[in-house]
């Protein structure tokens, strides 16, 4: 059986924040029944983890029903939730802890001023810290940071915040100018010297940190992720549709993705 360890399922493009670096795909959400069909299609292969992202996945009204269906069908699959945390209260948190094995929060700056400038909002950081206190040692926690010109010299301030908690992984992503985020490329994009500065920071910090810190450059965006979009579509690294899991077999799509990766590596070697 083919194995695909990690899948990123962008379950909705709806969001309650307005991040200027966001590159989500604008398309319609599927119904619960259609998303169950997508999971049944995925079940033809071996899956290790499914991460629900968006948009804001908690705005998909049937998220927990879908999570319950997945866990009932295959309890061995790890479920992860990538959320801005904005609408999480105690009741919602209990449901998250019931169904999910991982939770991911975004901290893109330790400054409220910067968070407001990039579209997170001034209350974003305080809410994430509140949730870190509520979730600590109850679920595996991951922190995402989009590396931009705004936070190039702010990483250690972010580290000082998250080092107070039991964080399993801190992933720093280089800003990727695709879709709507292209219009803000000049505002956010890091040149190679700046990107290498972050790589060096991560290398040095990993020597002393209990947190597993990773840096994802643009090459990882293009080759390392299997993304499902809200309508079930799958894209290649040129943002072209290569299939839809509602009606195309997962094994056929994976062959196309494998071919794309081979071609990508060939282009790199030329």
What CATH number should be reported for the domain holding residue 72?
Answer: 3.20.20.70
Q: Is the pLDDT of residue 109 over 70?
A: yes
Who has greater pLDDT, 39 or 237?
39
Give the predicted TM-score (pTM) of the model.
0.92
Q: Lowest-confidence range among 66-80, 139-153, 206-220, 253-267?
A: 253-267
Q: How many domains would you assign to the chain?
A: 1
Residue 30 corresponds to which tokens in the numbers above? 């599927």
Mean pLDDT of the chain: 92
pLDDT, average across residues 256-263: 66
Burial (Cβ within 10 Å: 0-12, 13-18, ≥19) of residue 55: buried
Q: Is the pLDDT of residue 223 over 80?
A: no
Percent of the chain with pLDDT over 70: 94
Q: Is the pLDDT of residue 44 over 50?
A: yes
Strand pairing partners for 79?
Answer: 50
pLDDT at 265: 38
Who has greater pLDDT, 181 or 249?
249
pLDDT at 37: 98
Full residue range of the structural domain in which residue 205 is found: 3-269
Sign of CA dihedral 163, 98, 7, 108: negative
């Amino acid at each position: 059986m083919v194995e695909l360890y990690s899948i990123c399922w962008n379950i909705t493009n709806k969001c309650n924040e307005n991040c200027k670096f966001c590159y989500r795909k604008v398309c319609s959400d599927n119904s619960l029944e259609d998303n169950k069909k997508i999971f049944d299609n995925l079940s033809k292969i071996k899956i290790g983890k499914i991460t629900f992202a968006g948009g804001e996945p908690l705005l998909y009204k049937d998220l927990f029903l879908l999570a319950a269906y997945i866990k009932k069908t295959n309890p061995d699959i790890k479920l992860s939730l990538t959320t801005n945390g904005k609408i999480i209260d105690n009741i919602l948190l209990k449901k998250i802890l019931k169904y999910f094995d991982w939770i991911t929060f975004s901290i893109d700056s330790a400054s409220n001023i910067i968070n407001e400038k990039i579209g997170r909002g001034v209350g974003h950081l305080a809410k994430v810290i509140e949730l870190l206190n509520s979730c600590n040692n109850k679920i595996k926690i991951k922190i995402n940071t989009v590396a931009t010109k705004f936070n190039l010299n702010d990483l250690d301030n972010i580290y000082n915040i998250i080092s107070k908690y039991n964080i399993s992984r801190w992933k720093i992503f280089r800003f990727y100018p695709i879709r709507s985020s292209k219009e803000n490329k000049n505002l956010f994009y890091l040149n190679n010297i700046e990107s290498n500065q972050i790589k060096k920071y991560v290398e040095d910090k990993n020597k002393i940190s209990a947190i597993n810190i990773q840096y994802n450059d643009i090459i990882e965006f293009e080759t390392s992720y299997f993304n499902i979009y809200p309508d079930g579509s799958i894209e290649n690294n040129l943002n072209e549709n290569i299939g839809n899991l509602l009606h195309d077999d997962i094994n056929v799509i994976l062959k196309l993705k494998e071919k794309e990766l081979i071609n990508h590596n060939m282009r790199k070697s030329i």
